[in-house]
Structure 1
Amino acid sequence: MQYRCASVLALLLASAPAWAGDKPIYQPAPDWVKPAPPLDTSKLDGESPVLLLVDQQHRLHDGERWAYTDGATRIASAQMLNQAGTVQLPWQPDDGDLIVHKVEILRGGERIDALAKGERFSVLRREEQLEQLQLTGVLTATMTVEGLRVGDVLRVAFSTTSKDTALAGNVQTVVPLVSAPVRVGFARTRLLWDEGTAVQWRTPKGTAAKPVRAGGFQELEVAVPLAKAEELPGDVPLRFQRTEMLEATSFADWQAVSRTMAPLYRTEGAIPPGSPLAAEVAKIKAANRAPLDRTAAALRLVQDEVRYLFNGMAGGNYHPQSPADTWQRRYGDCKAKTLLLLALLDALDVDAEPVLASIGMGDLVAGRLPSAAAFNHVLVRATVDGRTLWLDGTDSGTRRDDLGDAPPFRTVLPVRAAGATLMPVPLAAPARPQTSVTIELDQSAGYTLPTVYKATFALRGAMGQELNLAASQADREQKDQMAAGIIANTIGNATVVDRSIRWDAASGIATVEVSGIADSPWQSDDRKLRLPLDHAIGPLSFDPDRSRTGWQGLPAATNGPAYNRIVTRVRLPGGGRDVALDGDQTLPGHYAGLAVDRQVTREGDWIVVREDLRADGAEIAAADINDQRGRVAKAKTRLLAAVAPEVRPAPWQEVTAAVRDKRLAPLEAAFAKNVADHADDAEAYERRARFRQSLYDWRGALADVDRAIALGSTAGRHLWRAWLYRQTNEDAKAHLDLVAAETLEPGSVPVQLELARYEALHGEGAAAVARLDRQDGTTGGAQRTELQMTRSYVLAEAGRRDEAIATLDAAIAARPGQVPLLNERCWVKGTRNVALEEALRDCTKAIELADTPSMILDSRGVVYFRMNRLDEALTDLDAALELSPGRPASLFMRGVVRKAKGDAAGAQADFAAAKLQSPRIVEEYARYGIKP
């Protein structure tokens, strides 16, 4: 066992006495090793296994474990040559010896003995895991094998030994087993132990193995590779999964393991009177009278004042350093921190004991053989005022209110002088939220306008400590990126304007406060505008696959324990009048292990949703899976949302009202601050330009795009500014930007299409057609469709109407049913007032094929107007605006139809709305002979 508080399975090596060496020993394999069959490498080809030999033989004798490995690998590629060409053999000199038996190259019938040639391993001290706060003491013997080539076979045989007095003469080992579908030429797993030692052993269920006597030893050989493990759903608890290992132990039972470990955690005399630690005990006693407060203070001292560092040196795998050493060094691993905490609690008259646990193995521990190797962690179990408290010195940020929280280990082993059996750990959600999130969205400017947001994230415990550590080492830009990353997972596309990160040591909570601007959170769903308010059921996924007969009795694991709190506050447009709530405002019961306490209130023009999400990590019994699946599925059909009234201002009306009522001041201030704080960031100006453009503030948007281009000239920005210049009737400047875009990206099809459109509008039809001709053969897919439609537009603007229609005829013949092409042909015929019946058929067919036909309804409205079928034109234009409220072309044409029908007031309103959004729309339609 190694107490690594972040590893999944304890390593196989145990502590060793001082006789172990720090240099490899070179000698033949011991006599007890059974040689592998000879390797015939003369007939290898590309279909031969890469692993030709995997031979593992372990011997348990006189308290020592000897692990022998013989492996041969076919060097099948240059990449493998790079990986395998340098042999690396790690070992811990404090555990035992590294003994090298063989390093050789097999090439056809030739055998090249690297050791006989004098090649030797170099020894490096490797602390690769120091960034994980692990000081392992591992040495690595390395050898770059000379002359190794692709096609060779590299064979290496070596042994490691280990012997640990902490095990009181006991021995243990764990041997990983090769399993199908891994292909291997020859594989063997062999275990020997002397007959005088009572050894228990275990192989995976269904494995045929039986020990036999062999010269004073018991010998067990496991047939490998194992058959492929039975496929299981990924959500079953760990205990159902096959553990592909051979384990052996001389411990009689768990009580023996408990008794053997007990002497390592004795606290008698650990804190001498007058020592620095005694002074800390006195401080805690003076400041705290209640045992629970003293316990919390002792745990905080160990967590906050002693940093975590795994120490695998000098017998550190099992032996914790003394409390005095830990306090003087101010670092220690879970063993050292546990012993320090036990000593403090003993001095504070708090009943406590160490318990062994496994990080990652969970309920598999109960199915293991009794050995110290079943665990990789140790913590403290205390009893205060009749309550069981689980105290982990390697955790962080634990405070008084958290002492009752249970760790997620499921099974532990108390360490007692009298011995103990395995103890289950009941699972429950933590007492305090691990994360508390408050999101405030000010949507008072309007449903479709951006929102000013404020968000607060409070992170407790290890997450808070990690955030505090990261923030303390980050510069301003990195902190901005941290804040943006946090907010993106909650709000989505958002701009961070202000942020702060602070740490409160008293509560153990790190708090991130972020404010800024986000896109409107309202979403169109089935022609309704909805604001999602659910943070509980929407992200929850529970659909266990139990379709196979053999799976139907298997329970499902759930996430947890966990406790998160989310508060969402939304200030509604128009004071929230007529905004309805849809979905479940309460969620009683459990949903696949998640309990949701939801409260929804209306506070003036605010909607407030408070959700506490508690997951206890409990399994879902097989008999309950369908019921829980159904509960989750049903709840997902009733996700909480706010629903905007069906009758509400159109987007342009929201803009004009917000400007008129001065409701945009918070947004304008946020954009201004963002620009001021990022004066050299072109994207900051782009963000404000998009906002100003949405307000139809063309000059303001132009000013920001000017600044963005000054900071970084791109074709996209020049195209954007050209479009803005078109809105302000500055075509010459627009042309200059189009030329600049072409200079930057001469091969850009979008740039060429925009130049062609400009030329067509300015009487240069021949040049525009020639430009498009040069693009033929360079586009495909959507770009080809756009090129064909642009060609039709250019030809029509040049007065070559028949050619324009013929272009679309050919395109549609090549790709029938293309909605954009059908709509374009309908549009060209409608605006040019020709073949109107054919145009009607095109539009109608396109509407039938389209998912969102608002543009096509607009085109058909023009056709109906040309045919003097005004009622039908009005119906189509109303429908287009219902699907796409505020579409300028539809508004303008509806104004034309309304005027023709005698509705002067309605027409003027539509014309004003269209011109607000598209200043040159009157000019555009005048080219088609359609006037207000």
Structure 2
Amino acid sequence: MRSVIAQALTQALRLFITIAATCLVIRRTGRIGCPLGVGSPGGEKSMYRLMLLAAALLLIFAEGPSLAADEPVYEPASDWVELDDTIPEEAGGSPLLRARSVTRVDGDVLQTFAELLYRGSTPQAVQNISRLTAQWLPEKGNLRVHEISIIRGDEVIDILEAGQQFTVLRREEMLEKSLLTGLLTATLTVEGLRVGDVLRVRMTTELSDPALGGNVQGVQALATEAVQIGEAESVLLWPQGQQLDWQVLNGNPQATVTEDGAMNRVAIPLPLDEGEDMPRDAPVRFQMPPLLEYSTFGSWADVSSTFAPQYAAEGLQLPSDLEERIAEIRSRHDGDAARAAAALRIVQDDIQYLMNGLNGGNYVPQAPAETWRQRLGDCKAVTLLLLAMLEELGIEAEPVLAHSRLGRMIPQRLPSALAFDHVLVSARIGDRTAWLDGTGAGTREADIFDPPPFGYVLPLRTGGAQPFEIETQMPSRPQEIVNVRMSMLGSVDMPLIADVEVKMLGPVAIMVAEALRTLGPDQTKELIREALLETLPGSGLVTDTAFAIDEEEPSVTLTGTVLRTRLFSRENQEWSLALSQMADDLRVRANRTKAAWRDIPVVTSGLQHSLYTLVVELPEGADYALEGDADFTGTIMGRHIDRDTRLQDNIVKMTERVRSDVLEVDADDLPAAREAGRRARADLPKVVAISDVPRMWDLVLADAPHPQIQRIDEIFDAAEEAYADDPVHVLTTRMRYYYGVRQIDAALEYVDKVLELEPSVDMYTWRSALNHFRGDDDAALRDARLAFEFDPSSYDAREILAERLILSGDVDAGVALLDEQIELGGSSEEEAKFSKADFLGEAGRGEESVALFDELLDEGPVTPKLLNARCWIKGLNGIDLDGAIDDCNRAIELARDPAAYFESRALVWLRMGEPAKTLEDAERALDLAPDRINARWLRGLALTELGRPKEAEPDFYMVREYAPPVLRTLERFGLIPEG
């Protein structure tokens, strides 16, 4: 079933609403999309122009015979329309002065008069309102144009009488959406309109449709205060002897109901109260604008019986080649389920979707033979074709009306065909119901018993039927299967390698397969990259991408290799790896605290079924344990979660299956769901290292390169080719990685490549740091100057140049740079003061450094960072050691993470000749943060002084090989082992 969308000034003003709101309704209530220009090229301008017209007309009619002219009829308004020639006042500066519609029902004919009055108060407004566009359906009735006048003071200029008329075009604006609406389009540019003029437009449309069995139906959206209108009213008229029901949904208008001669009259003054804002996760039916609907259907059974004859499949003649296909189904498939699925596949695969509203086709399906000949059809056409095929196969089936988004609203609606926008087949197979949607894609036998998410549906039966609610259930098979195998064999802080496979099944696979067939190579790679990266948190590089399409299943499988920065994290002296990807999904964010929201359900992510399998090869040389809820079964916000996790031989495997059979969750259930989600998040499974774990430096300092490092190099080589469109991303990532594994020459090679392509302060400072690491301080200073010259406003560039100058001996120049920043003030002032004190201390000017830290502490606030910095500088320079101990003690007391402060106190104890205390504090620091390089050196010095030099050798070796700049600083202050 398809609705017909008519615009303002084309079909009478039968619904008032902003264009944006109208488009929202249309998008969410059917497959037609928004015909008013929003979302299309030039749509914003079109939206603005139509808002000035204050029009928005959602006429949902049926098709009828050819009754009317292909040209507008120019004539005076009918006697049943009361005309008002007064000019109302403007409302809030809006150009729209009046918007009035009168809808008249008489037998099976629907007439709608519309009057629009708006002022061209600005040149832009004149330009917008002077271009009129009208559309109408000649098969339904005439478009009658009564008046288009310019009112200038007391003068009324009739532009129709002056000879201006609409130019009629045939334009299928919805063809790109596979819709043939049958609309005619007429355009007119009003000549002579001036700033200050008032433009008045009056028109009437007529509609009649034999397919409705003598009935009339309609729906109008009613304008709210979101639209500023001087005067507005919507009127409904019908004869006293004719039965007609009407109601307003989602609104409480002050409607006036009277008898006007022989006619009943309902008048609704507009605009209505805007009402409460709705939460974004509310069902669509709660977000609809106020709707006036009316219908002469007496019951749902009347609707059912009226349309049932159009889908009678018995005795329909099918083409011979289709009969052969049906015979093939009988011979190749056993059982009704397999045969029904095979028939459905023929319809889904061989018939392209095209909604044809011509020749009465809005409600009347075209003949199956014609659908098969053209290989084109809409939901009505393919439903009738499928019913005829099932009739031949001896399978009991019937057509069922549904609404794709508003099915749960049907019990609140008046009986009419307007409550539906879709029709499909319900087949009885044994004691089960199969749902066969000919406009779907990729449905197989395993899927046909999965109910669609349509809420209430109406069977079409000769004797009539009542709507019933489809019970939702979980999809029988997964729509997505994800397999991830992560290799972390090197160390907990090395990049990991993940081989990822994402398999999509069913309708999603059909769409993705079509995209993959039509996209170019670069776009295909990008699509696969994005899909694979979704399976892992954070960013990464994806290489070796590939895809495979299986038409029979149907499925699309995407594969690739992901290089990702480390996933292990360290907290509370513990290395751990979170396994589940559901932490964010388990968070219930729905808000129903407002009184007006407390009874509004929450929309879920829909009926779904997914399977996620993760296999992790953990770093060798450590022991691990599982913590959290390794095996979980529970339901949160309608999603049923089953998890199984196992750890054996340093390989962990987790499988999570998520299935949902709920479309909405009641607001009353939110507190329990929120608490269940909180508990589930707190107890997600993780792998915890229960012994010392290998670190990156263990691999770097090993006698032979680790295989993981070799494979990462290969992945980077592949990435440079794969990311030809973004080489800087790959080169920068590779440069940072090589620095991490201490391949400094390689890192310099890649930073040079980045600088050739895209110079930046960040890259010059990186090159300065790399040159400093390798001991080339001249080159380090040169690059720092280049960074500062590239962007003198960058504080980072200024700071690194100051540091390089001070440590190279040009103290005055470095200090001057920082003093300039301090004088400028701003957010970097305090940081510049800290850096000045720190750099002077590192340069051996301890007294000056301490004096500056004293000033910072006197200015306040007293922070652990400042206390520790002063403690470290005192220890490094061997001054005021008792005061240094006090500083470190206070820093440790105030700190949340005192690793660096234990390290500083270890240095002071060493200066004071307390190697045992040095060893104790160094080990405390390393227990909290194994990355503390200075603490390792200090531990080695303490062990040496305690007569345990063999135990010190690993620490000394690690610092010498892994952190030469740290070693040079310590050596400069005489902190080297004796001998």
Q: Give me the TM-score of the superposition, normalised by structure 2.
A: 0.86
Q: Distance in 2 between matches of 1:235 and 1:682?
A: 40
Counterpart position of 1:39: 87
- Tell me which of 59, 64, 75 is aligned to 1:12: 59
CA-to-partner distance for each residue in 1:681-719, whole Å, 9 max, x for gaps? 233233222222221121222233333334444332232
Counterpart position of 2:715: 670
User: By how many angstroms is 1:381 displaced?
Assistant: 0.7
Alignment of 1:139-288 (within 5 A): 139-144=184-189, 156-180=201-225, 183-204=228-249, 206-209=252-255, 211-229=257-275, 244-272=290-318, 274=320, 276-288=321-333
Q: Distance in 2 between matches of 1:142 and 1:862?
A: 86
User: By how many angstroms is 1:310 displaced?
Assistant: 2.6
CA-to-partner distance for each residue in 1:509-551, whole Å, 9 max, x for gaps? 1111121211222223443322222244641233655556676
Q: Distance in 2 between matches of 1:104 and 1:247?
A: 32
1:772 aligns with 2:818: yes
Q: Distance in 2 between matches of 1:911 and 1:825?
A: 26
- Tell me which of 336, 346, 350 is aligned to 1:301: 346
Judged with a 3 Å threshold, the aligned counterparts in structure 2 of structure 1 residues 399 and 744 are, in CA distance, closer, same or farther, namely: same
CA contact (8 A) 1:172 1:371 kept: yes
Secondary structure in structure 2 of the residue aligned to 1:369: coil
Counterpart position of 1:705: 751
Counterpart position of 2:399: 354
Q: Note the aligned Cα RMSD (angstroms).
A: 3.4
Counterpart position of 1:762: 808
User: By how many angstroms is 1:29 displaced?
Assistant: 3.6
Judged with a 3 Å threshold, the aligned counterparts in structure 2 of structure 1 residues 52 and 489 are, in CA distance, closer, same or farther, namely: farther
CA contact (8 A) 1:785 1:821 kept: no
Residue segments in structure 2 that go unaligned for 5+ positions in a row: 5-25, 33-57
| Deviating more after overlay: 724-733 vs 6-15 | 6-15
Counterpart AA for 2:338: D
CA-to-partner distance for each residue in 1:817-851, whole Å, 9 max, x for gaps? 46655544444343333344554555555555555
Judged with a 3 Å threshold, the aligned counterparts in structure 2 of structure 1 residues 117 and 870 are, in CA distance, closer, same or farther, namely: farther
Q: Distance in 1 between matches of 2:882 and 2:144?
A: 92
Counterpart position of 2:565: 519
User: By how many angstroms is 1:383 displaced?
Assistant: 1.3
User: By how many angstroms is 1:313 displaced?
Assistant: 3.5
Counterpart AA for 2:412: G
User: By how many angstroms is 1:470 displaced?
Assistant: 1.2
Counterpart AA for 1:914: V
Counterpart position of 1:725: 771
Q: Distance in 2 between matches of 1:874 and 1:149?
A: 90
Q: Distance in 1 between matches of 2:27 and 2:386?
A: 20
Q: Distance in 2 between matches of 1:880 and 1:371?
A: 76
User: By how many angstroms is 1:360 displaced?
Assistant: 1.0
1:606 aligns with 2:680: no
User: By how many angstroms is 1:234 displaced?
Assistant: 5.8
CA contact (8 A) 2:99 2:116 kept: yes
Alignment of 1:177-576 (within 5 A): 177-180=222-225, 183-204=228-249, 206-209=252-255, 211-229=257-275, 244-272=290-318, 274=320, 276-491=321-536, 492-536=538-582, 538-542=584-588, 545=591, 547=593, 557-574=603-620
User: By how many angstroms is 1:273 displaced?
Assistant: 5.2
CA-to-partner distance for each residue in 1:862-916, whole Å, 9 max, x for gaps? 3444444555544443333333322323322333344344442343322222223
Q: Distance in 2 between matches of 1:499 and 1:178?
A: 52
Percentage identity across aligned positions? Answer: 34
Counterpart AA for 1:31: D
CA contact (8 A) 2:310 2:365 kept: yes
CA contact (8 A) 1:468 1:503 kept: yes
Secondary structure in structure 2 of the residue aligned to 1:780: coil
CA contact (8 A) 1:345 1:351 kept: yes
| Deviating more after overlay: 632-641 vs 847-856 | 847-856
User: By how many angstroms is 1:606 displaced?
Assistant: 2.1
Counterpart AA for 1:445: G
Counterpart position of 1:926: 971
Count, aligned residues: 926
| Deviating more after overlay: 313-322 vs 832-841 | 832-841
Secondary structure in structure 1 of the residue aligned to 2:620: helix
CA contact (8 A) 1:860 1:873 kept: yes
User: By how many angstroms is 1:329 displaced?
Assistant: 2.5
Q: Give me the TM-score of the superposition, normalised by structure 1.
A: 0.91
Counterpart AA for 2:777: D
Counterpart position of 2:36: none
Counterpart position of 2:98: 53
1:784 aligns with 2:821: no
Counterpart AA for 1:889: N
Counterpart AA for 2:102: Q
Q: Distance in 2 between matches of 1:808 and 1:221?
A: 80
CA contact (8 A) 2:532 2:559 kept: no
Secondary structure in structure 2 of the residue aligned to 1:211: strand
Secondary structure in structure 1 of the residue aligned to 2:484: strand
Alignment of 1:796-807 (within 5 A): 796=841, 801-807=846-852
Counterpart AA for 1:449: M
CA contact (8 A) 2:632 2:644 kept: no
Q: Distance in 2 between matches of 1:852 and 1:86?
A: 69
Judged with a 3 Å threshold, the aligned counterparts in structure 2 of structure 1 residues 777 and 110 are, in CA distance, closer, same or farther, namely: farther
Q: Distance in 1 between matches of 2:172 and 2:887?
A: 72
CA contact (8 A) 1:207 1:222 kept: yes
User: By how many angstroms is 1:608 displaced?
Assistant: 1.3
- Tell me which of 631, 636, 640 is aligned to 1:586: 631
Secondary structure in structure 2 of the residue aligned to 1:38: coil
CA contact (8 A) 1:36 1:55 kept: no
User: By how many angstroms is 1:392 displaced?
Assistant: 0.8
1:634 aligns with 2:679: yes
| Deviating more after overlay: 476-485 vs 150-159 | 150-159
Judged with a 3 Å threshold, the aligned counterparts in structure 2 of structure 1 residues 90 and 844 are, in CA distance, closer, same or farther, namely: farther
Counterpart position of 1:30: 78
Secondary structure in structure 1 of the residue aligned to 2:270: coil
User: By how many angstroms is 1:605 displaced?
Assistant: 3.3
Secondary structure in structure 1 of the residue aligned to 2:633: coil
Counterpart AA for 2:743: D
User: By how many angstroms is 1:120 displaced?
Assistant: 4.4
Counterpart position of 2:2: 2
Q: Distance in 1 between matches of 2:208 and 2:488?
A: 69
